[in-house]
Amino acid sequence: MKPLEKHSSYNGPEGPVVLVIMDGVGIGKGDPGDMVTKASTPSLDWLKENALYTTLKAHGRAVGMPTDGDMGNSEVGHNAIGAGRVFDQGALLVQNAVKSGAMFEGEAWQELTGSLGDATLHLIGLLSDGNVHSHIDILLAMLTKSHEQGIKKVRLHTLLDGRDVPPTSALVYVEMLEKHLAEINECDGFDYSIASGGGRLYITMDRYNADWPMIERGWNTHVKGIGRQFESATTAIETLRSEDPGVIDQDLKEFVIVKDGAPIGPIVDGDSVVLFNFRGDRAIELSRAFDEPDLDTFNRGPIPDVKFAGIMQYDADLQIPKRFLVSPPSIDEVMGEYLAAAGVSQLAVSETQKYGHVTYFFNGNRSGKFDEASEDYVEITSDLLPFEQRPWMKGGEITDVILDSIENSKHNFIRANYPNGDMVGHTGDLLAVEISVEAVDLCVGRLLKAVKESKGVLIVTADHGNADEMYEVNKDGSLKEDKQGNPKSKTSHTLNPVPCYIFDASGAGKIGLADDSDLGISSLAATVVDCLGFVPPENYDASIVKIG
């Protein structure tokens, strides 16, 4: 890795370069579901009139997803922003490994399935085609391969989505899965069934150590077979919905499938377990529960002696999990490493929900700092309550940390994530989403004033869309409607571009907008490097700005 060189005619601003990532705040079409347009955003409006402005791609191949029909997400978005170029991501790596057969020919799959005998193969993961954490096609391929290998007993532990897909679409995927299982079970001696499940935000898929009781509920459901009992997943979902009208899939309570009064799929000694989610943040804690004998975050009871693997390794530095089926992307020479080597002091700050994104994912799926002396990472603890009940989240506290750094000249480069547009956007509560966008705009206004006074540079952008499209849209731009003629709620990410505002308060007059208007969010790294007064690395995607 070659050291960064200084620009010959520009030494960077007197104040810091501040990169603000408004999570989930994309550019909508101005329809009734576009809460970004509907919200009052005087700060962003001012920036659009008075700063450099462009739009950036934040989905599909621009962030390493398989196709341009795939949504971006916070993980791949922060990878792209921090790395300065695009790497093939988990969704594509796993898809390719399944297509080529490499995943099933690998040592890990063979270890888990080669000597099962009468024991059970358990598959745990998110049941949808959202392609953010998982894809049902991968699961179906794993079931087909298990059948071909003669594995007699498989149990599925299904996490319901409603977040990266329509909010009440769970039965669509359950029906697809049940049809596939039925075809396998027509063969003599095969017993493939759904054994447990529940909403992804109620069991199993916590992240950043925010809510270990969520993991405990998942452990009790999947491993111990403890939970409300039903004869089928369909019956469970229909019953839970009837008891709580308006609940969306991600919040459904846990369920356990029973036969003759007993759970059909607890995980016991001798079994094998695969967590088939390929995104890391919401897979790490369950992996630790299986892999770490001394874990004390909750009482697991007797830990079954099983072979466990993730479909990918979710943290290469910490070796989580120890066994995995597909190697994760190898992301190197990220911006944070270049800046640390150049002596640039850095601050990364967000609240718990996105703290790992401005640290771990931003640094190329790397835990820890590049330089302890020059880097500060600050996590503001998120509230444990539904996001629609407090849509401003911890925006004020995040802003306070940034203002303290600016006012006391602590850091040359500051990166921050405001999670509001994404986390509140996933709830489907339109009023709360509108407020969440306004809360972020208020925070941006506070930062804008401080950056002006310090003669710094403010870059405001997003990692993907969400709050910009809260109703499902047809190809012709019209809103999709339910049977009652009401617009269909949308809680997933969007394919929309994201904004990028660059306000130069340095007074040097050296920063202009580059001629290339067809850029993605991976170009933000070169942009930050330029604004700091350095020449971007040659292998980085083109900068949004030109210096001169």
Residue (of 217, 211, 300, 207) closest to 254 by Cα position: 217
Amino acid at 61: R
Whether the predicted pLDDT of 476 surpasses 90: no
pLDDT band, residue 482 (cuts 50/70/90): confident
Which H or E element spans position 376? strand 375-380
pLDDT band, residue 115 (cuts 50/70/90): confident
Residue (of 136, 144, 127) closest to 95 by Cα position: 136
Q: What is the mean pLDDT of residues 175-198?
A: 97
Whether the predicted pLDDT of 420 surpasses 90: yes
Q: What is the mean pLDDT of residues 217-237?
A: 98
Q: What are the DSSP E strand ranges found in 128-218?
A: 153-160, 191-199
Which H or E element spans position 451? helix 430-454
Question: Are 233 and 269 spatial neighbours (Cβ–Cβ below 8 Å)?
Answer: no
Distance of CA 316 to the CA centre of its chain: 17
* Least confident span in 46-55, 243-252, 451-460, 480-489: 480-489
- In the chain, what percentage of residues exceed pLDDT 70? 100
Question: Are 280 and 316 spatial neighbours (Cβ–Cβ below 8 Å)?
Answer: no
Whether the predicted pLDDT of 478 surpasses 90: no
Q: What is the mean pLDDT of residues 174-203?
A: 97
Amino acid at 351: E
Amino acid at 183: E
Q: Give dist(CA 510, CA 330) in Å, integer.
A: 35
Q: Which residues are catalytic?
A: 74
User: pLDDT by residue (tens digit) across 361-416?
Assistant: 999 999 899 999 999 999 999 999 999 999 999 999 999 999 999 999 999 999 99
Domains assigned to the chain: 5-87+331-547 (3.40.720.10), 91-326 (3.40.1450.10)
457 contacts: CB under 8 Å, gap ≥ 6: 13, 15, 16, 17, 18, 451, 502, 503, 504, 505, 506, 511, 531
Question: Are 131 and 137 spatial neighbours (Cβ–Cβ below 8 Å)?
Answer: no
Q: Give dist(CA 317, CA 308) in Å, integer.
A: 19
Query: What is the structure's pLDDT at 283?
Result: 97
Tokens 């302890």 sit on residue: 372
101 contacts: CB under 8 Å, gap ≥ 6: none
Whether the predicted pLDDT of 123 surpasses 90: yes
Q: What are the DSSP E strand ranges found in 291-354?
A: 307-312, 324-326, 346-351
261 contacts: CB under 8 Å, gap ≥ 6: none
Two tokens, residue 334? 């990220």
What is the model's pTM? Answer: 0.89
Query: What is the structure's pLDDT at 487?
Result: 92
Q: Mean pLDDT over all residues of the chain?
A: 96
Q: Give dist(CA 374, CA 344) in Å, integer.
A: 7
Whether the predicted pLDDT of 517 surpasses 90: no
Query: What is the structure's pLDDT at 528?
Result: 98
pLDDT band, residue 474 (cuts 50/70/90): confident
- The phi and psi torsions of 235 (rounded to 5 degrees) equal -60, -40
Query: What is the structure's pLDDT at 469?
Result: 97
147 contacts: CB under 8 Å, gap ≥ 6: 184, 187, 190, 192
Bridge partners of 534, per DSSP, are 6
User: pLDDT by residue (tens digit) across 428-438?
Assistant: 999 999 999 99
| 258 three-state secondary structure | strand
Query: What is the structure's pLDDT at 343?
Result: 97
* Least confident span in 286-295, 455-464, 484-493, 494-503: 484-493
Query: What is the structure's pLDDT at 475?
Result: 80
Residue (of 433, 120, 411) closest to 264 by Cα position: 120
Distance of CA 62 to the CA centre of its chain: 16
Residue (of 99, 167, 183) closest to 128 by Cα position: 167
Distance of CA 386 to the CA centre of its chain: 18
Residue (of 125, 132, 262) closest to 197 by Cα position: 125
Q: Give dist(CA 311, CA 313) in Å, integer.
A: 7
Two tokens, residue 351? 């609240």
